[in-house]
Structure 1
Amino acid sequence: MALSLVRMVRLALVGLAAFTSIASALPAPPVPRSTVLAPDADPFYQPPAGFASEAPGTILSQRDITAAFFGLIPIDVEAYQLLYRTTAVNGSAIATVTTVFKPKNAKLDRFVSFATAYDSSATKCQPSYAYQLGAPQDSLIASVELLIIEIYLALGYTVASPDYEGPEAAFGPGRLAGMGVLDGIRAVKSFKTLGLTGNPMVVGMGYSGGAIATGWAASLQPKYASELNIKGWVQGGTPSNVTGTMYQLDNTAFSGLLPPAIAGLSKPSAYGAELDTFISKVMTADGQKILDSAVSECVTEDLLAFFERSIFESSFQSMGEDFIFDPIVQSVLKQNSMAVNKDETPTAPTFVYHATNDEVIPYADAKKMVNSWCNWDANVKFTTYASGGHATTEIIAIPDVINFVKNAFAGTTKSGCIANTELGSILNPIALGVELEPILVKLIDALFNLGEQDSKVKSDPVGVLSTNL
């Protein structure tokens, strides 16, 4: 459910470090920021009349865009955006956007679905907006995760990154996000401009907040989109149990992720019918003000606005700890916890990785999820990282993730459940070959700035954020 402040800082460091080195190889000049419209003002995001009668995954509109790092430096790839039909929690039709990056010499029999961790319930934070040349960079995470996407582009994979939270930016409801990912894959598969062949192979991935979308896509795919040629799923730092994640985040440097999650779960496309009246009744004036802010700001502001506060405090809501145990709330939380139902078990090979000392997302919950899936005959590789915290683990894991992706496309992943522990905390800059060395060097720079188990950021997250952005 959450992407930590440390991860956001790490990504900022990565992107800023790469800024100068890539600029000389890319075209210019930038366009004025005023030419790019926010999603709420951009007609492209509005579906045509009658779209509800279309099948999930149907492309409703398409356009070319110029993708850019930090809205300023164009990326030398073909880039497109597709408005497609997907599904709300109650089964009604909604429309959202996926952004597609196609590199030169792309492999036409496969592509990657990359769920970025934008962790916000404000529509201006949709990654499709941040990816565009000239867009203001309110959604810092989506902006800098383009460098990670660059790894897959360099390997010759087309990459699709969906606005999986839907048109209302509903952060938290995993089922909605999972369907958004799967319908985005359907849309890309049918997008003839890409020249994809036959029934293209797909690997889906996401870390932290992006693992909500990816984990639920993996869980729902056998029933919701069985026709897709899914070769594998990768999910790291997975918030598999919403209740456990909320308790771990509460009253910490990362507690600012909780109000947007509450707001996101309460959106009409999510569980507004169940939660809206209840939330309105128990929120204090201060609590409602914080929720209102959460639907208009991105993760940076959210973290600062609710820093080291608790959702159980009386100034936020009137029920104290009983708030989370209310039957209405419990029903919603249970519906969005993974590995509860046997018929929602991934059937494609799945790579799950998590740090023992993850300070944001409980390790024990991820392990429990894996154990349940394995008991239900899933094929899961579960890697425990014994060194590092939430942010550093994604960096350290990159070689393992890339190798899993390659094996998944080749059909050479091992069957059954495999568990291993990694003790190392060093990323080899040539671990994936000379062509990726410049990108991995930037990731190493970020790893150094974070420090062991992310301790540098944990000690003063707001200070580090201010210093490095």
Structure 2
Amino acid sequence: MASSVARMVRVALVSFLAFTSIASALPASQAIRTVQTPDDDPFYKPAAGFESAAPGTILAQRSINAAIFGLIPNGVEAHQLLYRTTAIDGSAIATVTTVFKPKKAKLDRFISFATAYDSSATKCQPSFAYQLGAPQDSLIASVEFLIIQIYLALGYVVASPDYEGPEAAFGPGRLAGMGVLDNIRAVKSFKTLGLTDNPMVVGVGYSGGAIATGWAASLQPKYASELNIKGWVQGGTPSNLTGTLNLINDSVFSGFVPAAIAGITKPSAYGAELKPVIESIITPEGQKVLDVGGSECAVTALAAFFEKNIFDTKYQTLGDRFIYEPTIQKVMKLNTMGVNQDETPKAPTFVYHATKDEIIPYGDAKSMVKSWCSWDANVKFTTYASGGHATTEIVAIPDAINFVKNAFAGTTKKRCTQNTELGSILNPLALGVELEPILVKLIDGLIHLGDQDANLKKDPVGVWKKTL
């Protein structure tokens, strides 16, 4: 059996590489460009008076043709919902969620999947990237769509919201959390899916997606207590924006910093109080950086600010005192998880993190879990002792899937637990042979890995062979 499985993996990998090579070689004139960007698409614009609707109300709906990498139809029923959600100041805003329904769907439950699109540009919203013919500028959302295929293959309806809101505000966790919770409300009321009354829900997110999922878990008891939440899965969680900034600044990942600054200064976020501060200290060179961070997707933003130091007075006049400016410090603290006892998840929560994560500090996630557990949360905290940020998202897939299954079944442990995983190799057999082609594509798709992910980056097929 092992040899036949290995052959399946190799055939799937070769086929995928052949397809991507052909697709990348097509002249630009042959590309499918029939999809309007969110800024140009009237579907994204709510009708007048939408502000009076309750959070989570569906404002518009449509069916779409969804496709992997914008080119390969994924063969499942797909819909998009424009729904009402809430800005940081409590005002009404509208954003979109994309809902996928497999042919043999479990109609008493669904997954809310927050993808890590990590951008403050509206063209990078996942609802745009998921459509057939859409350009794949948002590489992370495109790759994580492969993870969504796993949940679909297991029979789950999956909803993936544009949780950053209509302005694509990357960074403000409270806005993202409300965006996730209102997406759940909208999907719950979407009769076309045929879901049962009060369906069970598990929220999932990694890295930037864990900002949204972690804050949804934190705010749900107060903001959306009526939802039938059975669990939360969050990995590589940026629980402390200050800690994350200090780790990635002046590194290969420093481009996330100006993207986040552009995000938290959007009007729907903290623009009213924060934008005047930024405008008073930003230099012309710094403004150029922020302009890129607010208009480009993650890969381009990373390249534009590669190994740059945001504390350099070339970009802003406060230098090292930047994060100590009172308004900036206030906003950073407001977006730190595990600070307020009344913002503790009530549903079972799976938190996982690599000790050598080169983007999100492990210590911050550990502190968050410690606070939550001291306030009687039900948290499973798994430490991955090898591998880096990207590897951990992949190797944790079986654990995440199993936690989701147990959460829906109500069989998760009733207290905080901790365990350490030493391996950095994904075991495809833990998910079943039928999912292996999807996972092979996922490994190949994660081409922008960190230093700690070298074992996966150098020889993805070899990694698979070791498990067979």
TM-score over 0.5 for the pair: yes
Q: Is the 8 A contact 2:111 2:159 kept in 1?
A: yes
The gaps in structure 1 that reach 5 residues or longer are 1-12, 24-30, 460-469
Name the Cα RMSD after superposition. Answer: 2.2
**CA displacement, residues 371-425 of structure 1 (integer Å, 9 cap, x when unaligned):** 0000000000000000111110111111110000000000000011000001112
Matched residue, 1:204: 203
Gaps of 5+ in 2: 1-11, 23-29, 459-468
1:129 aligned onto 2:128: yes
How many residues in Structure 1 have an aligned counterpart in Structure 2? 439
- Indicate how the Cα distance of structure 1 residues 422 and 333 shifts in structure 2: closer, same or farther if over 3 A, else same: same
Q: How far 1:35 sits from its partner (Å)?
A: 2.0
Residue identity opposite 1:254 in structure 2? F
C-alpha contact 1:314 1:320 (8 A) present in aligned 2:
yes
Where do 1:120-199 residues align within 5 Å? 120-199=119-198
Which residue of structure 2 aligns with residue 40 of structure 1?
A: 39
Q: What secondary structure sits across from 1:216 in the alignment?
A: helix
**Aligned residue in 1 for 2:336:** 337
Work out whether 1:63 is the aligned partner of 2:85: no
**What is the CA-CA distance between 1:91 and the residue it aligns to?**
0.1
Matched, 1:74 2:73: yes
Contact 1:87 1:180 in 2 (8 A): yes
Secondary structure, in 3 states, of the residue corresponding to 1:278? helix
Distance 1:280-1:450 versus aligned 2 partners, 3 A rule: closer
What secondary structure, in the 3-state scheme, does the structure 1 residue paired with 2:341 have?
coil
Deviations 1:318-363 (A, max 9, x none): 0001110011001000000001100000000000000011111000
Q: C-alpha separation between the residues in 1 aligned to 2:72 and 2:457?
A: 31
- Distance in 1 (alpha carbons) for counterparts of 2:447 and 2:395: 11
1:400 is matched with which residue? 399
Compared CA separation, residues 149 and 14, structure 1 to 2 (3 A):
farther
Equivalent residue for 1:269?
268
Contact 1:117 1:210 survives alignment (8 Å)? yes
Name the structure 2 match of 1:384: 383
Q: How does 1:356-395 map to 2 (within 5 A)?
A: 356-395=355-394
Q: Which residue of 2 aligns with 1:227?
A: 226
- 1:45-71 per-position Cα deviation (integer Å, ceiling 9, x unaligned): 000110000000000000000000111
The structural deviation recorded for 1:293 is 1.4
SS at match of 1:63: strand
C-alpha change, 1:332 and 1:195, in structure 2 (3 Å) is same
Normalising by structure 1, report the TM-score.
0.90
The alpha-carbon distance between structure 1 residues 303 and 412, as it changes in their structure 2 partners (threshold 3 A), is: same
Any runs of at least 4 consecutive aligned residues in structure 1 with deviations exceeding 6 A, and if so which?
13-16, 446-449, 456-459
Q: Which amino acid aligns with 1:280?
A: E
Q: Deviations over 1:147-176 (max 9, x none)?
A: 100000000000000000000000000000
Matched, 1:118 2:117: yes
Structure 1 residues 240-251: aligned runs within 5 Å: 240-251=239-250
Per-residue CA deviation, residues 256-275 of structure 1 (Å, 9 max, x unaligned), is: 00001001000000000111
Secondary structure, in 3 states, of the residue corresponding to 2:198? Answer: coil
Alignment partner of 1:146: what SS?
helix
Supply the distance in 1 between the matched residues of 2:200 and 2:18 (Cα, whole angstroms): 32
8 Å contact from structure 1 (residues 119, 299) kept in 2: yes
Distance 2:63 2:269 in 1: 30
Asked whether the equivalents of residues 14 and 144 of structure 1 are also in contact (C-alpha less than 8 Å), the reply is no
Deviation of 1:441 after TM superposition, in Å, equals 3.6
Q: Which amino acid in 1 is paired with 2:351? A: V
CA contact (8 A) 1:253 1:458 kept: no
Q: Following TM superposition, by how much is the alpha carbon of 1:294 offset from its aligned partner in structure 2, in angstroms?
A: 1.4
The answer for the alignment partner of 1:432 in structure 2 is: 431
Residues 204 and 61 (structure 1), Cα distance of their counterparts in 2 relative to 1, 3 Å cut: same
User: How far apart are the structure 1 equivalents of 2:54 and 2:446?
Assistant: 44
Task: Tell me if structure 2 keeps the 8 A contact 1:390–1:453.
Answer: yes
Larger RCO (alpha carbons 8 Å, 6+ apart): 1
Structure 2 CA distance for aligned equivalents of residues 332 and 15 of structure 1: 48
Change (3 A) 1:273 1:452: closer
Give, in angstroms, the shift of residue 451 of structure 1: 8.8
Cα displacement (A) at 1:281: 0.7
| 1:142 Cα offset (Å) | 1.1
* 2:59 alignment partner, SS class: strand
Deviation at 1:439, TM superposition (A): 2.1
Letter in 2 for 1:453: Q
Following TM superposition, by how much is the alpha carbon of 1:429 offset from its aligned partner in structure 2, in angstroms? 1.9
TM-score, normalised by the number of residues in structure 2: 0.90
Provide the secondary structure at the position in 2 that maps to 1:83: strand
How has the CA–CA distance of structure 1 residues 376 and 300 changed in structure 2, closer, same or farther, with 3 Å as cutoff? same
SS at match of 1:415: coil
In structure 1, how many angstroms separate the alpha carbons of the residues matched to 2:381 and 2:246? 24
Amino acid at match of 1:142: A
Moved more, 138-147 or 63-72: 138-147
